[in-house]
């Protein structure tokens, strides 16, 4: 198994962006927006970094019984799009954790722009060792995180530790569903060494071992295929988009991922489990 320190470093380097806030601000300006006028909806094209974007996010959260009293943690929060959606839509208080410093810094700035800093906070750190107290969150969720994490057992063990009894973990990840190999780069890694795809059976076994009982599993492959078919028909990219996060070879990364999807090698899954 890869040394966790080396693994963390390679993951962070893959996502690191030297001037992310400025890049987003410049793209917003080209679309007639500024940090004074921007909304969470405006940011969705760049901060919902997963298959299906904001449409997938809305579907994912509908299965959760969130209220203003729900204490939530976002594992692998990126630049905070899903955390801001959760806080604004349900009134929750959300803590986001991400390994990549430039993402965490951008998340804090963007959250301030849309007036949600009192509801959402961000920490830089590893999801394998969160550094927060046990039994304090009602809900943990992760969106397209597991593909970068080799040690699924430790990932879910740590998630279970910080959840209250009967707390919920929600997962929206890309899983392996068929034979064959992906072409690289893809959005979550430059090469095969940084990709840790697993099957639904591996996820279920790791969750169960961590004391998390799986209640719902949704294969969202058909949804994702439809989403990318529609995206291919709309050949007018805007200045603000995921290409800002992916930087070099963004089109190639997306194309390789979509090929894996259409060739039935990978598929996005929603998994909902509860702490025993």
The model's pLDDT over 142-175, given as tens digits with 9 standing for 90+, comes to 999 999 999 999 999 999 999 999 999 999 999 9
Domain with 35 in it: 4-275
Distance CA 74, CA 98 (A): 9
Report yes or no: 148 and 214 within 8 Å, Cβ to Cβ.
no
Helix 221-233 × helix 53-62 angle, to 10°: 150
- Per the structure, how many domains does the chain have? 1
Q: Return d(Cα 94, Cα 73) in angstroms, integer.
A: 6
Closest CA to 127 of 102, 153, 106: 153
The pLDDT-based confidence of 13 (bands split at 50, 70, 90) is confident
Asked whether the bond before 185 is cis by omega within 30 degrees of 0, the reply is yes
Can you say how many angstroms the Cα of residue 103 is from the centroid of all Cα atoms in its chain? 12
Distance CA 274, CA 276 (A): 6
Sort strands 266-275 and 93-98 into parallel, antiparallel or unpaired: unpaired
- Looking at residue 52, its pLDDT comes to 97
Please say whether the beta carbons of 64 and 168 come within 8 A.
yes
User: What pLDDT, in 10s, does the model give residues 32-84?
Assistant: 999 999 999 999 999 999 999 999 999 999 999 999 999 999 999 999 999 99
- Rg over alpha carbons for the chain, rounded to the nearest Å, is 18
The proportion of the chain whose per-residue pLDDT surpasses 90, expressed as a percent, equals 90
The rounded distance, in Å, linking the Cα atoms of 195 and 184 is 10
CATH code of 104's domain:
3.40.50.150
pLDDT at position 236: 75
- pTM comes to 0.94
């Amino acid at each position: 198994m890869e040394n966790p320190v080396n693994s963390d470093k390679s993951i962070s380097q893959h996502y690191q962006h030297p001037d992310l806030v400025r890049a987003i601000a410049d793209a917003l300006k080209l679309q007639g927006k500024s940090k004074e006028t921007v909304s969470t909806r405006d940011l969705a094209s760049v901060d919902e970094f997963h298959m299906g974007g904001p449409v997938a996010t809305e579907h994912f959260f509908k299965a959760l019984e969130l209220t203003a009293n729900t204490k939530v943690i976002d594992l692998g929060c990126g630049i905070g799009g899903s955390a801001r959606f959760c806080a604004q839509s349900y009134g929750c208080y959300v803590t986001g954790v991400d390994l990549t410093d430039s993402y965490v810094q951008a998340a804090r700035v963007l959250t301030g722009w849309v007036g949600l800093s009192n509801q959402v906070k961000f920490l830089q750190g590893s999801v394998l060792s969160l550094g927060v107290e046990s039994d304090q969150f009602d809900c943990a969720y992760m969106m397209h995180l597991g593909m970068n994490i080799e040690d699924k057992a430790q990932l879910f063990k740590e998630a279970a530790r910080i959840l209250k009894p009967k707390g919920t973990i929600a997962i929206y990840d890309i899983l392996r569903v068929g034979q064959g190999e992906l072409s690289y780069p893809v959005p979550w890694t430059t090469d095969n060494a940084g990709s840790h795809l697993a099957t639904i059976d591996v996820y279920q076994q790791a969750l169960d071992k961590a004391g998390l009982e799986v209640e719902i599993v949704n294969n969202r492959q058909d949804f994702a295929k439809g989403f990318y078919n529609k995206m291919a028909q709309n050949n007018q990219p805007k200045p603000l988009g995921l290409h800002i996060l992916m930087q070099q070879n963004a089109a190639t990364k997306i194309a390789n991922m979509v090929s894996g999807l259409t060739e039935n090698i990978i598929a996005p899954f929603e998994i909902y489990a509860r702490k025993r």
